[in-house]
């Protein structure tokens, strides 16, 4: 597979994964770009031991995990819990909330749910994260419950 095709196919997916992780569009763009730089550099060495998707998602998620190092201890200013006033009919705020809630999960949960929402197969998620498939299934279930609860708390 040539780099251009991979880039075309995976850019949005990788961006969303990073966005779910940091909930900051600028930072997510940076992380996504770094991921593709690594992909570009390592593509010739790619051995097809795993699917290309698994390979790219591993690089992207590891890069997200690594960025803790660069993180200047920024404290996420807590958003007001009551967002009732901003509630609109359009989907916009719901999307924003989804990404915000995901970014507030524990780090590995952010990766797991992002991959699930990207419709990556659970067996593949297991191969990316390094947990058993049954473990992943349980985790996804719990994370979805958590997210639903958070949405309810905000009046959805």
Partner 1 sequence: MATNIDFKNLWKQQTAEKPSIEELLGRLKKFKHENIRKLVVTNILLIITCTFIGMIWYHYQPQMLTTKIGIVVVILAMVIFLAAYNQLFMNFYRLDNNLTNSEYLQNLYLLKNKQKFMQTTMLNLYFILLFAGICLYMYEYTSRMKVLYAVITYAVTLAWIAINWFYLRPKTIKKQQAKINGLIDKFEEINNQLKD
Give me the least distance between CB of 21 and partner 1, in Å please. 12
Give me the least distance between CB of 99 and partner 1, in Å please. 6
Q: Which is nearer to partner 1, 5 or 79 (CB)?
A: 5
Collapsed DSSP state (helix, strand, coil) of residue 143: helix
- Find out whether 111 and 129 touch, Cβ atoms under 8 Å: yes
Degrees (nearest 5) of the Cα angle 62, 13, 117? Answer: 90
Binding site for partner 1 (CB under 8 A): 3-4, 7-8, 11-12, 15-16, 19-20, 25, 28-29, 32-34, 36-38, 40-42, 50, 55, 58-59, 61-63, 65-66, 68-69, 73, 91, 94-95, 98-99, 106-109, 111, 114, 117-119, 127-131, 144, 147-148, 151-152, 155-156
Give me the least distance between CB of 81 and partner 1, in Å please. 16
Give me the least distance between CB of 18 and partner 1, in Å please. 9
DSSP state of 78: P
Q: What is the residue-wise DSSP string for 17-35?
A: HHHHHH--HHHHHHHHHHH
Q: CA-CA distance, 35 to 99, in Å (whole number)?
A: 20
């Amino acid at each position: 597979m040539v780099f251009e095709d991979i880039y075309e196919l995976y850019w949005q997916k990788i961006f969303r994964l990073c966005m779910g992780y940091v909930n900051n569009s600028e930072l997510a763009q940076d992380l996504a770009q770094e991921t593709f730089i690594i992909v570009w550099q390592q593509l010739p060495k790619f051995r097809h031991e795993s699917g290309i998707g698994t390979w790219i998602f591993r690089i992207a998620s590891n890069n997200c995990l690594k960025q803790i190092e660069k993180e200047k201890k920024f404290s996420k200013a807590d958003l007001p819990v009551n967002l009732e006033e901003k509630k609109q009919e359009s989907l916009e705020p719901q999307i924003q909330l989804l990404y915000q809630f995901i970014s507030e999960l524990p780090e590995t949960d952010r990766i797991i749910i992002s991959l699930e929402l990207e419709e990556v197969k659970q067996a593949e998620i297991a191969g990316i994260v390094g947990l058993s498939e049954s473990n992943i299934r349980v985790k996804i279930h719990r994370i979805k419950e958590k997210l639903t609860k958070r949405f309810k708390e905000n009046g959805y």
